Structure 1
């Protein structure tokens, strides 16, 4: 019996669609965990979920749209927001957690799925919402630093977060260079220098 079939049938209209979506999402996550995002295929997902592949194509259109939707939904949990008492400590803790997350099947799959080119307005909107949520959740790191006098009052929190995470994603997706503790320490220092005149 599939996960979709195991859900109680007494649901409001639209319940079947929700069950199908849940079954497909679980199938994608299982496939990603087993052999990585690059090898996820709709025929395999159809078999795992017990859903016709025509239904999957009708709802998501392409394999890329499907994978990105699943990765965005599964990654709704925000990385824990550190509060070490210093900006350098917070940036270091957050970067370390992000690196560890990207080394998991889900994190790696999300990073690669976000890099897909899609022509779906729905998926583009989901991607924008995902990043807006991440930026908003982590703005507190920057506002705390401003309140402590570690950063200027006009610091752009979004830019600050981008300065921190961009090199991590670059190494993870492109150069495959290690992102060890020394790299993280240097990265946090460089971000602070970029944000605070005279820092360093």
Structure 2
């Protein structure tokens, strides 16, 4: 599932207003309580205009998350897996070190009292995974990966420690930590 948008189809002023409202709603209420009606009412935006371009709340929430996720447009290509992993870990850290990044990360955390089935998180993860695994795919082509590597697990090994540190501490995720995580992943997957 994509975001449901034809890129460039939303008038820029409306996109900016809706994206700002979407960020506010997600960081305030999380995915479970994200509602087009509430967003429209609180932010003075015509709900029919939102529906016209995004269709539903899931598409809008996903568009907001993907637009502001720091890893979507970045796939470092330094020519070597080890340095690609370090560069990517620094990109993830720079995103979660911002107030917005931490807030959106918290919005993705599953709540025990989820009222409805929503695959927004899964869709977000699949899109993010597709971008992040590019680094491992290139490393495999260069012969840097040992056989039998589960690429989903490899990507999770890299981003999970950074995300967990951002979720459970107020400390910034620093370069030394990123280097340590990247080196651990590199050692786990290298040929």
Structure 2 length normalisation: TM-score?
A: 0.68
2:137 maps to 1:143: yes
Equivalent residue runs for 1:18-167 within 5 Å: 24-29=18-23, 31=24, 37-38=27-28, 46-50=41-45, 68-69=61-62, 71-72=64-65, 74-75=67-68, 78-117=72-111, 118-121=114-117, 124-167=118-161
Cα offset, 1:113, TM superposition:
0.8
Cα offset, 1:89, TM superposition:
0.6
Contact persistence 2:89–2:179 (CA under 8 A): no
Aligned residues between the structures: 166
Give the corresponding residue for 2:168: 174
Give the corresponding residue for 2:178: 184
Cα offset, 1:69, TM superposition:
4.9
Cα offset, 1:190, TM superposition:
0.7
User: Do the aligned partners of residues 28 and 87 (structure 1) sit closer, same or farther apart at CA in structure 2, a change above 3 Å counting?
Assistant: same
Cα offset, 1:185, TM superposition:
1.2
Contact persistence 1:171–1:179 (CA under 8 A): yes
Contact persistence 1:92–1:188 (CA under 8 A): yes
Cα offset, 1:139, TM superposition:
1.7
- Give me the CA root mean square deviation: 3.6
Contact persistence 1:96–1:184 (CA under 8 A): yes
What SS is found at the alignment partner of 1:177? coil
Gaps of 5+ in 1: 1-19, 53-58
- Cα distance in structure 1, aligned partners of 2:115 and 2:16: 23
